[in-house]
Structure 1
């Protein structure tokens, strides 16, 4: 049955560009809310650079939701690209392969940081991964979560209620929060390092599960909503991509992590603990079939330099050698093998 569905999808894809309800004449992109503003700018510039090209449709579905849509199969009814604020998981790659999405081009488009921020003039703290973990974990170090105030976590912090607005579980930003901050704070404890060796599932639960008692508020896939929430409550903290911090510098202020401010320079050098790569994943089978897909990919490569248009709206450029390697992927359409995810 599955092979029949894949064959049907391939026939539909072959019809792209022609008449018929299943064909389309523009690129469709889904995925990360963090990558969304960059992808939208690239889409607008690609349409300007290529007269007659229909502007790509960019949808913000979250990284996890984007991979689900992307891996459904090939054909005009499926997305050409999914953006992600984390790397594809091996399980997602396997799902793609099972559904006939066998040639996937992985492109690192730049860097971003998971910024912790408050309203301008609002609460200010010097954070560490351990502080964030102890404040937000459902069961810090396997014990009961009893902290109510920031000062309960560390006496040097303000005696203000913990209230953090952040991304949902489907978001790549949430995955990065878990991996780069929560887990880093958790495994600083020797017992947790030992637990990883004996019971990795329990370790993952203890180290990455976020409390659900209202101290951490899931604000959906739109980072702008988090900016609005903390702007209206100067005792609250928000977690979102660095680009939203820079875009809203008149409303919000970044909080330092390990003494490092969430700035372009600190993210670029990975001095800031929340620095992370951003990706787009492209179906090679769609490149020649979907009008404008090659041009859209080329526009990304023209835009991601340190002095390019995306840097002006908050994208942090990858190092020179990384940009060169990913330009080659865009040019040569080199697919992943899956080994990259091990």
Structure 2
């Protein structure tokens, strides 16, 4: 069974355990509190909003779970009713296939809200070697197959200086998120695929066979050079301190909270910062989202108020309490637009891909 199928099975099992009442197409009944599930990157932001919301409302504390973006959306899309989450937290946009799954299961009105920005960092322990990666180094160091001979071969690189002579003579050992994680999806889309496209042999494949290119660019090594480290980004941070010479891939917000123990490496000479993430100059910058089930508005007590708190100036605005947690705020005009969508509960249209 593949890891993605296992993730899907786990999400469905979680629903069976957590569910109460009707979980399929019906909307009868209500839970005592709000339920949000998904991205480990969005988790600390959603948790902070939940804490503030509970204090202000005096009601039940919203339940926030870290299942990874894929796991959260899988649970969210199972249907309408109290045994399914009200909100899916996501560190990438919902995919067309996920949207279709939602539609098939009766989740027909989904409100997509961008809450801010984050960056994916490649980090080392503070006392570790310094790296200035070129984007193509990520593909050449971490792809399962690379150009060789008359085609593609198993990646032979064992040290970073075999990939790029300007990088340290240090073994390739990278701890990163699993396939269910939006952070991993974004790392593949923003790092591995653009890096692959800079290599002539891969650029030719991209022109001739896009599906083949996607497979090559999105398949990470399975020989121990890349290590799936679970959905908990804090665990990856701790691993870097315990494992000399290792690198880690995780969200910028976790870097900001652990600057005393880890440091971020540059990509194409650009370091991740609030400024470079917000203006898009850092190559691995991304948007963060929450997806709201409109059918649960007015059924799950306090759901719309919770969403409005999430998008409020005090939370998501510049200088808000989520910025203190590491969220990079949206520009004012974008936040105003997202806040209007949250108030109107305007459903999203089908994603293009």
CA contact (8 A) 1:167 1:240 kept: yes
Give CA deviations for 1:98-131 in whole Å, capped at 9, x if unaligned: 0000000000011000011111111210012111
CA contact (8 A) 2:136 2:199 kept: no
Residue 335 (structure 1) aligned to one of 335, 340, 347: 347
Other-structure match for 1:256 = 266
Residue 104 (structure 1) aligned to one of 92, 97, 110: 110
Quick one: structure 1 residues 43 and 177, their matched pair in 2 at CA, closer, same or farther if it must change by over 3 Å? same
Kindly tell me the number of residue pairs found equivalent between the two proteins. 326
Other-structure match for 2:92 = 86
Other-structure match for 2:135 = 129
Give CA deviations for 1:278-302 in whole Å, capped at 9, x if unaligned: 0000000001100121111011111
Question: Is residue 59 of structure 2 the alignment partner of residue 49 of structure 1?
Answer: no
Please report the TM-score for the alignment, with normalisation by the length of structure 2: 0.90
| Distance of 2:302 and 2:215 partners within structure 1 | 43
Give CA deviations for 1:290-316 in whole Å, capped at 9, x if unaligned: 012111101111111121000011000
Give unmatched runs, 5+ long, in structure 2: 1-21
Residue 279 (structure 1) aligned to one of 289, 301, 307: 289
Question: Is residue 193 of structure 2 the alignment partner of residue 183 of structure 1?
Answer: yes
Quick one: structure 1 residues 293 and 134, their matched pair in 2 at CA, closer, same or farther if it must change by over 3 Å? same
CA contact (8 A) 1:54 1:292 kept: no
| Distance of 1:11 and 1:184 partners within structure 2 | 41
Deviates more, 1:40-49 or 1:190-199: 190-199
Give CA deviations for 1:222-255 in whole Å, capped at 9, x if unaligned: 1011001101123111000000000011110111
Runs of 4 or more consecutive aligned structure 1 residues displaced over 6 Å after TM superposition: none
Quick one: structure 1 residues 341 and 47, their matched pair in 2 at CA, closer, same or farther if it must change by over 3 Å? farther
Q: CA RMSD in A?
A: 1.3
Other-structure match for 1:320 = 332
CA contact (8 A) 2:205 2:213 kept: yes
CA contact (8 A) 1:123 1:236 kept: no
Question: Is residue 311 of structure 2 the alignment partner of residue 305 of structure 1?
Answer: no
Shift of 1:38: 0.3
Shift of 1:325: 1.4
Question: Is residue 51 of structure 2 the alignment partner of residue 37 of structure 1?
Answer: no
| Distance of 1:202 and 1:77 partners within structure 2 | 39
How is 1:18-29 mapped onto 2 (pairs within 5 angstroms)? 24-29=31-36
Give CA deviations for 1:163-209 in whole Å, capped at 9, x if unaligned: 10000011000000100000011001233233223222211111111
| Distance of 2:126 and 2:137 partners within structure 1 | 22
CA contact (8 A) 1:223 1:244 kept: yes
| Distance of 1:151 and 1:11 partners within structure 2 | 55
| Distance of 1:280 and 1:212 partners within structure 2 | 32
CA contact (8 A) 1:121 1:234 kept: no
How is 1:126-205 mapped onto 2 (pairs within 5 angstroms)? 126-141=132-147, 142-205=152-215
Give CA deviations for 1:241-270 in whole Å, capped at 9, x if unaligned: 000000011110111111111111111111
